[in-house]
Amino acid sequence: MTDLPIVYHSDYVAPLPQGHRFPMPKFRQLYELLLRNGVASVEQFQQPERPPRAWMELVHTAEYVQAYCDGTLDLKAQRRIGLPWSAALAQRTCVAVGGTVLTARLALRRMGLACNTAGGTHHAFPNYGSGFCIFNDLAIAARVLQSLGLAQKILIVDLDVHQGDGTAHIFQQDPHVFTFSMHCEVNFPGTKQHSDLDIPLPQGMEDEDYLKTLADNLPELLVDFRPDLVLYDAGVDPHLADRLGKLALTDTGLFRREMQVLGTCVAQGFPVACVIGGGYSDDLEALVYRHSLLHRAASDVYRQYKL
């Protein structure tokens, strides 16, 4: 493999019930945009398989996994997730977990960098889902890699605009997984968990202050923790046009963020597996472009460092 490996979930083409606002079509459109713009070729994409339930149960309770996969989760629990259950959604959700595990394994195999076209469901807790998140793919990937002996020390860099509360809770007593979250202070979730490093940001923060805050923390964190792998949640909801964001980054600011994170990690020899995280906009074309900035930056870094 000579090009950046990218994981694509073809099962995301199935629609949600009519009128639902969660932008599932963005996953297919992201794949098509990357091809159309020459960011990636068909040969770079790899499709994951549905993982065994035992992988989900490394993080989530067996009762919760069974209830969701079998369609017996009660309506109150479904409302907390924010997505109505369907067999198609359950299939896509499980395949998405496999996709993040595959992305992480590809990054380790190449000792460098790999990207997902989905993932980042950081609000899922061991026994319930929340905030459009059903199973916590970041946490599951970390546990699977540890159980397989592929990595032990894992750094989760979460730059979604919302705190990764589920991830923080899952690993709060685990010295081998470091959770780092930069998020808008006055945003979901209302009750924050304790990450290993939380940086709450003021509402309306713009590019330069955001990037300086990141630069003041990430390099030192890498040196101190020295992870075997970085799992990077590159949510684009800090964008000024995001309807759930409350920060004010531009497209340029997001691209600079991706270059900063990926360049800093790869330059120091730390493999990075990337997921796209959150993004919420009624302008689907603009949203998909913002998600593509991760893959554009990753392709540039991949070539620059000849990975």
Instruction: Report helix, strand or coil for 34.
Output: helix
d(CA 108, CA 117): 18
SS3 6: strand
- Are the C-beta atoms of 88 and 104 separated by less than 8 Å? no
How far apart CA 144 and CA 135 sit, in angstroms, is 14
pLDDT of residue 247: 98
User: What is the C-alpha separation between 3 and 17, in angstroms, rounded?
Assistant: 37
**pLDDT value for 15:** 44
Q: Which fold has domain 6-304?
A: Arginase; Chain A (3.40.800)
Per-residue pLDDT, 79:
94
Q: Which active-site residues does the annotation give?
A: 123
Question: Residue 110: its pLDDT value, please?
Answer: 73
Tell me the C-alpha to C-alpha distance, in Å, between residue 158 and each of 65, 104, 237, 275. Answer: 24, 15, 12, 10
- CA 82 from chain centre, in angstroms, equals 18
- Mapped onto helix, strand or coil, the DSSP state of residue 229 is strand
Alpha helices in 165-283 (DSSP H): 165-170, 207-215, 218-225, 251-267
The ranges of the chain with pLDDT < 70 are 1-2, 10-24, 111
Sheet order of strands, 272-275 included:
45-46, 6-7, 113-116, 272-275, 229-233, 154-158, 177-184, 197-201
